[in-house]
Amino acid sequence: MSQEHSGGMSATSVILIVLACVGVGVLVCAGVIVVCLVAITALGTSANATFGTVGSRIGGPELQPEDAAQTFAHDLCAGLTQTTWDRTSADFQNRHRKVGGPDQSKFFADFLQEHPQLRNPSDIEVDTQSFNLSQASVQATITPRSGEKIILNLKLTKEMGTWKVSDLSVSEEKKDKGDGAKKQAPRKDGGKDKG
């Protein structure tokens, strides 16, 4: 006993101290790793919100206005006038606001009355015509059940990180390039198919 008290610590005490130090070191390292993972996740979420995910960047930014235009055209053709109104820019809403009207989406109800062929089409195809960071021109080709094509020209503006429709117009209906009616017009004068 006199050796333990006079000589210092026993081997068991040294082992316990070393194990305690290792345990504290493991806890500190684990804490640092958890803090780093939380910070990396937070930075990644912040970067995704600001710049978009890597997946959306691979396809290119052209897809973003097309997606907004596709959703807008589907909502409009389905007769969802309030949802369609909500997808328009503040400038569009200021220009087309009905004075004293409680239903601001009446603009699109009137628009669909002027263009009834837009309702419930068999197909909607969207193609970006021009695009930059804050504005885009998109053409939606709407095919009613009768088969003719209607062109819905959309201008989009980026507001608060979201693409909104800032202007729209309907172009004249056009026949499909492979449509028989278009091919028959030249044949009437001297076509080979006459009888």
The residue that leads in pLDDT, 145 or 189, is 145
Report pLDDT digits (tens) over 10-27: 888 889 888 888 888 888
Write the CA distances from 46 to 27, 40, 43, 62, integer angstroms: 28, 10, 5, 22
Per-residue pLDDT band for 8 (boundaries 50, 70, 90) equals confident
Closest residue by Cα to residue 77 from 42, 122, 45, 38: 122
Is residue 34 scored above 90 in pLDDT?
no
**What is the three-class DSSP state of 6?**
helix
Residue 86 — left, alpha, or beta (φ > 0 → left; ψ -120 to 50 → alpha)? alpha
Yes or no: say if 157 and 100 are a contact pair by the CB < 8 Å rule: no
